Structure 1
Amino acid sequence: MNAHKEDLYPEVAASGGLVAALRQAAELRGCDIGLPPWATDAVGIETTRGYLSVDTAAEERLFRLRTHIPDFGWDIGSTDDLGTLVEAIAAWREGVPIGELKERFDFLDLDEFTGALEAGEPTSSQWANLLSSEYYRGQRSLLLRLHADEVLRNAFPTMTHRTVRLQVDPMHWMSRQVRVHEPDEGRYEVVRVGVPGADWTEVPGGDLVAHLRAALYDDDQSS
């Protein structure tokens, strides 16, 4: 940390870095901000509303907070008070309602974030991006088939090792997910993500949509 930043963030310099300063501030306030012991930077803090990250501004004292999921991110506020910041992170992780968060922490600006979710974003934009991508041209027929279904198009799609991953709630990292692979035209393999012992299952083309709907949305499936 250079001398200018040390002047702006003396507690960060004294702690030996931003992660250590965040941990110390959280400890002082009895907050759980979700930074694992091995973390070396303040990014990828898991929450039920995506991942949080913290960085510092260079020219003025500001701790900047951001939430993000694959290919999407929102700046949701900045403050010069490290203690207030860790309290907001803890409340966010606890699932405090958005309206209450805005009342308790006036530095949070959640209008863009909540507006995007209310408008069906980022799911619809993600579908559009994948369907128009030349990089994923080999998976386009599968993407089109999944998107054509009125239920499956509401799941958030990403590409993982050339397979399509569908997730019920993009803002909840533990929500139901499946991966779909088309090794040959018209032949499909499906696996539930995060389910112990789950393995790839071959699914006939005529059963694919029904199989995915059940895996993602049926109440009798294990979560």
Structure 2
Amino acid sequence: MERAKTTAWQALVLLVSVVAAGPGASAQSGQSAIPSSGSAAYDRLDLTTPEAALRQFLGAYRRGDYVTAFWILAPASQQAFQAHLMRFDLSKIARVSVTGAMTHAPEMIPPVNRLEQTDPSFSFAYAMQVARRLDIMPLNLAGMPEDMSPAVVPRLGTRVQLADGQVEIAMPLQAYRAPVVFRMVRSPQGRWRVQQVLPPGGHVESLPFGLPTD
């Protein structure tokens, strides 16, 4: 009898707790459905939709926060960047010719003792900072605001849903004769990432920047 009273009391306490929490409780639970990555800084990024992830990427890239921009690249694109850097194939990560890439290699490939961290995101940041100084950035966002929120930039571009579940967003940019295509992919944990940045005339098989070679 005493045990039955205890069970009933526990059920009453649980019911009161749910009612007191209100409708926001279930919404908050839904937001936390994506498992933590182990990085609070990364988990704070809004990668819930292709558009949200692209806004985060463009904003970080525009303001020179290349470490964060690297985080938003899909794993395959991150690995491709590292491979290009190790092979001195800088024409895949900056607007330089194949023959002229070696001229910039000593500058763009950072000595380990000059990096704050040995994490690949810092190597990416180092290379992008040099490319910015030399005006050979792989993605030219001239004229774009650093604040890419919907209030400032209501519409990014034209969205196309692909059969494989990926999403392409064709975005007109001031520096290009035609829209730049951003291919977005979804991670197994449900976060959207940038798989490829494809400018007009670029190569679809090259990650992360499908830069033209001519």
Q: Is the pair's TM-score, using the shorter chain for normalization, greater than 0.5?
A: no
TM-score, normalised via structure 1 length? 0.23
Greater percentage in strand: 1
Answer 1 or 2: higher relative contact order, Cα 8 Å, separation at least 6.
Answer: 2
Larger radius of gyration: 2
